[in-house]
């Protein structure tokens, strides 16, 4: 089967939202909505590096989309469409059918269209997705807006995916294979949050990116970390290692003033929110347990480790 036959068979479906020209031409065409900025991100997944080699292809398809939509959500933007660059060692029709179904299942749930991309042969299975979204001009939520006195919040629970990676077959594996991009929360935080990031490389490391960009520090309360029951059964050090350094959670970590947090609570959110600390003027990330300083050293996920 030639490249174009693969595209026509598995990746050429009618778009569900406004696309002027999609799959099948040299480039896609979109008309930007009035008074909106284009938000763009890209992410690459490599077999054996970002997911186990025997991962269900449906899950790979879902995750390849979800991790990019998470980045769009972290800007407070609404996702619109994706581009897919797929490198395959060989043509496996069963794999392609399941993979494309997983990709489209995620697209459908979040109102996203596949509008183009590329396929090629490679010794290694590699997927690169570029996601596009829209946000009102000046309304995007960057990493650089955290202010002293802000509350530090995180959605959902943290550490589940890292725990699942070390306990394959555990019920929490669904959190590893099928992450949920917090798109509804991301748009709800537009105009309320001062800074935001998605938790992909570990909560401590990703919060550190906010602190560096905003030139502030933080106090994080270890006892307030939102932890699943499976991780609650571990000792403190193991639990905190997963929660703070595990990565692959794709929850949103954001900072918000106490006044705007009260406004956020009035919205109908589809995920729980936990306050885990506060932003301070003094630089650095300080950990506390029950109000007492607690020394911890964590390294998040490193792409070139």
CA distance 265 to 273: 9
Does residue 128 have a known ligand-binding role? no
Does residue 201 have a known ligand-binding role? yes
Torsion region of 294: left, alpha or beta (phi above 0 gives left; psi -120 to 50 gives alpha)? beta
Does residue 301 have a known ligand-binding role? yes
Does residue 149 have a known ligand-binding role? no
Does residue 206 have a known ligand-binding role? no
Does residue 249 have a known ligand-binding role? no
Give the Cβ contact number of residue 190 at 10 Å: 17
Smallest Cα–Cα separation from 81: which of 64, 65, 62? 65
CA distance 70 to 200: 9
CA distance 217 to 254: 14
Does residue 43 have a known ligand-binding role? yes
CA distance 137 to 37: 5
Does residue 25 have a known ligand-binding role? no
Does residue 261 have a known ligand-binding role? no
Locus of tokens 């995180």: 154
Does residue 71 have a known ligand-binding role? yes
Binding residue positions for Mg(2+): 26, 43, 71, 118, 198, 201
Which residues are documented as binding site? Answer: 26, 43, 50, 71, 117-118, 143, 198, 200-201, 248, 301
Feature table: binding site for ATP = 117-118, 143, 200
Q: Which residues are annotated as a binding site for substrate?
A: 50, 248, 301
């Amino acid at each position: 089967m030639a490249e174009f036959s693969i595209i026509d068979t598995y990746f050429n479906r009618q778009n569900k939202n406004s696309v002027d020209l999609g799959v099948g031409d040299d480039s896609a065409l979109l008309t930007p909505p009035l008074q909106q900025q284009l938000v763009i991100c890209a992410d690459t997944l490599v077999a054996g590096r970002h997911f186990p080699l025997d991962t269900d292809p449906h899950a790979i398809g879902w995750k390849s989309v979800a991790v990019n939509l998470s980045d769009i959500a972290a800007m407070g933007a609404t996702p619109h469409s994706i581009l897919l660059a797929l490198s395959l060692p060989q043509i496996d029709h069963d794999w392609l059918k399941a993979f494309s179904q997983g990709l489209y299942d995620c697209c459908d749930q979040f109102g996203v269209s596949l509008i183009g991309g590329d396929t090629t042969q490679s010794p290694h299975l590699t997927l690169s997705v570029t996601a596009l979204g829209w946000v009102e001009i000046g309304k995007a939520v960057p990493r650089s807006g955290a202010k002293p006195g802000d509350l530090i919040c995180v959605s959902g629970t943290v550490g589940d995916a890292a725990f699942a990676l070390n306990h394959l077959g555990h019920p929490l594996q669904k959190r590893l294979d099928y992450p949920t991009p917090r798109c509804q929360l991301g748009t709800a935080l537009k105009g309320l949050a001062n800074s935001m990031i998605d938790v992909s490389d570990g909560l401590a490391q990703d919060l550190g990116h906010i602190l560096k960009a905003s030139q502030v520090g933080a106090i994080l309360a270890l006892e307030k970390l939102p932890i699943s029951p499976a991780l609650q059964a571990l000792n403190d050090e193991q639990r905190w290692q997963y929660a703070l350094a595990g990565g692959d959670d794709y929850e949103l970590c954001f900072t918000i003033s106490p006044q705007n947090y009260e406004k956020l609570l009035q919205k109908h959110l589809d995920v729980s929110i936990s306050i885990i600390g506060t932003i301070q003027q003094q630089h650095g990330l300080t950990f506390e347990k029950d109000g007492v300083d607690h020394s911890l050293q964590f390294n998040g996920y490193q792409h070139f480790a």
